[in-house]
Amino acid sequence: MLYAPAGVLLTINMKTLPYVGIASVWWELEGNGWKYVLLDLGKTIKKECGKLDMLAWQYNTVGVSDAVTMGNEGMRFSLPSRDLIADSLETVTFAQHHDACIAIPGCDKNMPGVTMAFTRHNRPSLMVYGGTIQAGYSQSLQRPINITTCYEMHGAYLYGKLQDYAKDKSREWDDDAVLYDVV
């Protein structure tokens, strides 16, 4: 059977149960703290939809991580990615004849793309926010740090206020030591 690998074992289910598309704005990207959260959350939602007698189809769409693109040419693609996300969700929803859509974005540019798609396909929709990158704590700075700390560090480096730790061989550098100059 064509749909057996997706978990649909009975043909009658294809005719009677509602189809729900579960769109995770997920991709595998090292250094992106919430990459697997979105995929795993989508799997959980798919499983729960199955318990409610819905046929859930999980797929992903592209997304841009501002944390990765900040300060380089990739920034030019962050805002336009909303349209690409909206187009892809709209395309899959219509092409696969989904009765509803549950989308899981995880970045501030991804959320508008998801809601744009919802208004286009005008089907029951739910957005589950995947969350932001969790803050941490720097042992060397003895203070909390977050994504903004990284932006501050990048700016300090550009203005010559942060040393180039890659060239400094006088000591062993770890993640906390790199942030030492950002006080």
What residues does each domain of the chain span? 11-127, 136-181
What is the pLDDT at residue 9? 58
Structure-token pair, residue 4: 């057996």
| pLDDT tens digits for range 144-164 | 887 777 777 777 777 877 666
What is the pLDDT at residue 124? 96
Other C-beta atoms lying within 10 Å of the C-beta of residue 171: 8
What is the pLDDT at residue 95? 94
In 3D space, the residue among 73, 146, 77 whose CA is nearest the CA of residue 113 turns out to be 77
pLDDT grade for 1, boundaries at 50, 70 and 90: very low
Distance CA 82, CA 151 (A): 22
Structure-token pair, residue 17: 């149960």
Q: What is the Cβ-side half-sphere exposure of residue 129, based on CA atoms within 13 angstroms?
A: 8
Distance CA 85, CA 112 (A): 9
What is the pLDDT at residue 33? 55
pLDDT grade for 118, boundaries at 50, 70 and 90: very high
Residues facing 127 on adjacent strands: 103
Who has greater pLDDT, 175 or 41?
41
Sequence-ordered list of residues with C-beta below 8 angstroms from that of 32, at least 6 positions apart, any chain:
65, 67, 68, 133
Distance CA 52, CA 50 (A): 5
What is the pLDDT at residue 47? 95
Range from 7-21, 95-109, 131-145 that averages highest in pLDDT: 95-109
Among 3.40.1000.10, 3.40.50.20, 3.30.365.10, 1.25.40.340, what is the CATH number of 11-127?
A: 3.40.50.20
What is the pLDDT at residue 109? 77
Confidence (pTM): 0.70
Phi, psi for residue 45 in degrees, rounded to 5: -65, -40
* Percent of the chain residues topping a pLDDT of 90: 35
Average pLDDT over residues 105-132: 89
